[in-house]
Amino acid sequence: MRQEEQIIRTEYSELMQKSFIDYAMSVIIARALPDVRDGLKPVQRRTLYDMQELGIRYDRPYRKSARIVGDTMGKYHPHGDSSIYGALVVMAQDFKMGLPLVDGHGNFGSIEGDGAAAMRYTEARLQKITQETFLADLDKDVVDFVPNFDETEKEPEVLPVRVPNLLLNGSEGIAVGMTTSIPPHNFAEVIDGVIAYMKNPDINTEQMMKYIPGPDFPTGGIVANRDELLAIYATGTGKIKIRGRVELERGKGGKDRLVITEIPYTMIGANIGKFLNDVYALVETKKTNDIVDITNQSSKEGIRIVLELRRGADVENLKNLLYKKTKLEDTFGVNMLAVADGRPETMGLVPIIRHHVNFQYELATRKYKTLLARELDKKEIQEGLIRACDVIDLIIEILRGSANVKDARACLTEGVTEGIRFKSEQSRRDAAQLRFTERQADAILEMRLYRLIGLEIEALLRDHEKTLSNIAEYEEILSNRGAMAKVIIRELEGYKKEYSRPRRTALENLEEAVVEEKKIEEMDVVFLMDRFGYAKTVDVNTYERNREAADAENRYVITCKNTDRICIFTNRGQMHLLKVMDLPFGKFRDKGTPIDNLSNYNSSEESFLYITNLAAISGARLLFGTRAAMLKVVDGSEFDVAKRTTAATKLADGDELILVHPYAENETLVMQSEKDFFLRIEASQIPEKKKIAVGVRGMRLGEGDALAAIHVLSEGEGRSVEVKGREVALHRLHIANRDTKGTKK
């Protein structure tokens, strides 16, 4: 019989809300955010644990990355190989990680943004520090193990990391509705901070910053706002200003060079190429003429970007220009968000260390409880063997007189002598007094005869003394928090001694970069644009010498100032502004640059109707006309705006701008419809409106009709158009009122 369907009726919005929250929390907890205890995201944790399980340790040969990725995906992380290999690559990059966790062999990418080779080519193994501080003691029940995705394997819920990895390596991640961005820090400083907290749990952020003064980026550089770090570390959020390090190298003949030896952490990857392009742009747009050449001489030894300077260059102003206009000064947004106690939480410096220290006490407690249990088991067996050595003759007699192991074990543990042959009644009475434990009896039964050698017995006694010493030590550690703290601090100091390195990032308070803008010498130029949209400027004398050719070859010829702006009005009702200074200035026969590249104008989506300079319309008015016969006059001052693109007029749906023209009251307009209706009106009939207005109706159009053209006639001008093979003299048309139907021709 088919089981009846069970239909659950629920509110759709409630179901969507619950489903989205479940999805969001899954991404937050299981993908994007690190755990505050080990500072790792799930994919990183699983990759490191898998490498441990595969035996790819720091003192063993490298193994193919594809082997690691495939094993991790098959056992623990079923989310695609690219995410696993991406995590593996980042953990091996010393320019991204303050403390690389993986030892990569092969092409693992470069600081300039080159990607790593395919996983089938590269090899990897664990770093020594990862082995010692991230994966040690997993066999001592220090963390909980949980089932993997298909419940065929077990994986650690968190790795027993002994150093505050969240601060050492930082973290970046985008979840649903939240992001994390934690900068890396110096190993020795963070260890000192942890020790300071353990000695004084009431330490505040300001006191903690005596030990951890600020971030330490792998790329070096300079933190430029040191005084703001206190607020950032107290709240867990803020912005760190970072600058690259620039050095001046003196050259022969006064030809100096600026050398960038360290870059901001945010410039890693494609941003180095963007920086070079930005410098080229500064030269091309004449923002500076102090740079003669730029070369990127960076190598595996480090960053070296060289700017060759002209003689007499203003070095300080150029530095400030680079800080202001390029990525040489950038902002690192801090948001110290991590998963704490199963939920995302933004934490300051001290809370992160508090969580880490609490985790260390938990790890130490579980570790020494496991070690104590093992030592107690060992003590029990050792005591049994020592006692057995004292009565070894009786035990041998029991073993020789027993019919089977069961009888021998019963005699050793409970003194049962039935079924055992003894040489004497005294031996039977002595055997009846034996009371070994089950473990001791098993050890005695498995003991080899060589253990009866005198030296072996002495070694057993020494081991027993060592076991008793360990038990006392472990019990002291477990019963005394101060003793446990000493053990943790001793381990941290050992790690610091072996793995610390000097600080790379300088912490300073630097003034805001101020650029002295060089005054532009104002001059008259001529703007030239051909029918293909290529534009340039030339000086007035060049134009005068080539006037005839310039007028014949170019669609627009406008005399303006080099400080002026060009207005481009398009059929979509937009006005694009273009600085004359951004246009190439040079020889008459130079091709020029497409205006698409210099402004927001898009020739594939719109076409220009009218181009002029802003100064020419600032004190004038412009006439606008659309295909739906909507007309208006707009004051030119409304187009003097800062935005590069603005709406020049408001268009109804489906309408299109077909006329932009300087307004004069003594002119007349002739509107020509697609169905050959003509209406001539005086320009003075058109009211002045704001640019955001639609305008007024100029001609009453029939159904399905629209304007084909609007002709502007100056006073006394004669002009004709051809309609169906006939000439229509526009200047002879009767002047009528606006908003009438017009005459059919």
| Secondary structure (H, E, C), 684-733 | HHCCECCCCCCCEECECCCCCCCEEEEEEECCCCCCEEEECCEEEEHHHC
Q: What is the mean pLDDT of residues 584-599?
A: 86
Q: What CATH superfamily classification does 524-744 receive?
A: DNA gyrase/topoisomerase IV, subunit A, C-terminal (2.120.10.90)
Cβ pair 169, 98 in contact under 8 A: yes
pLDDT surpassing 90 at residue 659:
yes
294 bridge partner residues: 307
pLDDT surpassing 60 at residue 3:
no
Instruction: Give the predicted TM-score (pTM) of the model.
Output: 0.72
Residue 93 has a pLDDT of 94
pLDDT surpassing 70 at residue 452:
no
pLDDT surpassing 70 at residue 371:
yes
| pLDDT top residue among 496 and 113 | 496
Among residues 122, 126, 109, 108, which one has the least CA distance to residue 64? 122
Residue 253 has a pLDDT of 67
Among residues 146, 167, 163, which one has the least CA distance to residue 155? 146
Strands across the sheet containing 608-613: 608-613, 565-570, 574-579, 645-647
309 bridge partner residues: 291
* Residues forming the active site: 121
Instruction: Compute φ and ψ for 434, nearest 5 degrees.
Output: -70, 135
Strands across the sheet containing 677-682: 707-713, 668-673, 677-682, 743-744
Confidence of residue 25 (pLDDT cuts 50, 70, 90): low
The burial of 736, by beta-carbon neighbours within 10 Å (0-12 exposed, 13-18 middle, 19 or more buried), is given as: middle
CA distances from 589 to 8, 528, 550 (A): 77, 11, 10
628 bridge partner residues: none
Cβ pair 700, 655 in contact under 8 A: no
State the DSSP H helix or E strand holding residue 172, giving kind and residue range, or none if neither.
strand 171-174
Strands across the sheet containing 593-594: 556-561, 524-529, 534-539, 593-594
Angle at 314 between CA 308 and CA 316, to 5 degrees: 95
Strands across the sheet containing 171-174: 171-174, 179-182, 329-335, 237-243, 222-223, 506-507
Q: What is the mean pLDDT of residues 205-229?
A: 95
Classify the phi-psi angles of 462: left when phi > 0, otherwise alpha if psi is within -120 to 50, otherwise beta. Answer: alpha
Q: What is the mean pLDDT of residues 652-673?
A: 92
Confidence of residue 175 (pLDDT cuts 50, 70, 90): low
Cβ-Cβ contacts under 8 Å for 712 (sequence gap 6 or more): 623, 659, 661, 667, 668, 669, 683
Residue with tokens 């505040």: 204
Instruction: Compute φ and ψ for 610, nearest 5 degrees.
Output: -155, 135
Among residues 165, 178, 191, 172, which one has the least CA distance to residue 45? 165
What's the one-letter identity of residue 640?
A: D
Class of domain 40-160: alpha beta
Instruction: Compute φ and ψ for 35, nearest 5 degrees.
Output: -85, 135
According to the 3-state scheme, what is the secondary structure of 179-233?
A: EEEECCCCHHHHHHHHHHHHHCCCCCHHHHCCCCCCCCCCCCCEECEHHHHHHHH
Residue with tokens 């001290």: 350
Handedness of CA 32, 37, 42, 48 (dihedral sign): positive
* Least confident residue range of 30-44, 225-239, 451-465, 608-622: 451-465
Cβ-Cβ contacts under 8 Å for 644 (sequence gap 6 or more): 576, 577, 578, 599, 600
State the DSSP H helix or E strand holding residue 334, giving kind and residue range, or none if neither.
strand 329-335
Confidence of residue 417 (pLDDT cuts 50, 70, 90): confident
Residue 121 has a pLDDT of 96
Most confident of 256-270, 285-299, 354-368, 608-622: 354-368
Residue 411 has a pLDDT of 87
Residue with tokens 């392009």: 277
Q: Where exactly are the structural domains of the chain?
A: 40-160, 245-327, 524-744
What's the number of CA atoms in the CB half-sphere (13 Å) around residue 286? 11
Q: What is the mean pLDDT of residues 490-511?
A: 93
Residue 418 has a pLDDT of 84
Among residues 124, 54, 115, 133, which one has the least CA distance to residue 91? 124
Cβ pair 260, 248 in contact under 8 A: no
Residue 416 has a pLDDT of 84
Q: What is the mean pLDDT of residues 479-504?
A: 94
| pLDDT top residue among 214 and 395 | 214
Among residues 195, 133, 233, 180, which one has the least CA distance to residue 28? 180
CA distances from 100 to 93, 558, 728 (A): 6, 61, 83
Handedness of CA 735, 741, 743, 745 (dihedral sign): positive
Cβ pair 58, 126 in contact under 8 A: yes
What's the number of CA atoms in the CB half-sphere (13 Å) around residue 107? 10
Separate counts of helices (H) and strands (E) for the chain: 22, 35
What does 58-116 look like in DSSP terms, one character per residue?
TTS--EEHHHHHHHHHHHT--S-HHHHHHHHHHHH-TTT-SS--EEEES----TTSPPP
* Measured distance CA(651)–CA(348) in Å, rounded: 53
Polymer length of the chain: 745
Among residues 492, 508, 505, which one has the least CA distance to residue 188? 492
**Residue 380 has what DSSP assignment?**
H
pLDDT surpassing 60 at residue 2:
no
CATH number of the structural domain 245-327: 3.30.1360.40
* Measured distance CA(242)–CA(616) in Å, rounded: 45
Q: 3-state class of 48 per DSSP?
A: helix
Among residues 42, 37, 59, 38, which one has the least CA distance to residue 126? 59
pLDDT surpassing 90 at residue 517:
no
Residue 1 has a pLDDT of 45
Residue 71 has a pLDDT of 95
Q: What is the mean pLDDT of residues 320-326?
A: 91
* Pairing between β-strand 222-223 and β-strand 506-507 as defined by DSSP bridges: parallel
Confidence of residue 254 (pLDDT cuts 50, 70, 90): low
Q: What is the pLDDT of residues 128-169, one digit of tens each?
A: 999 999 999 999 999 999 999 899 999 999 999 999 999 999
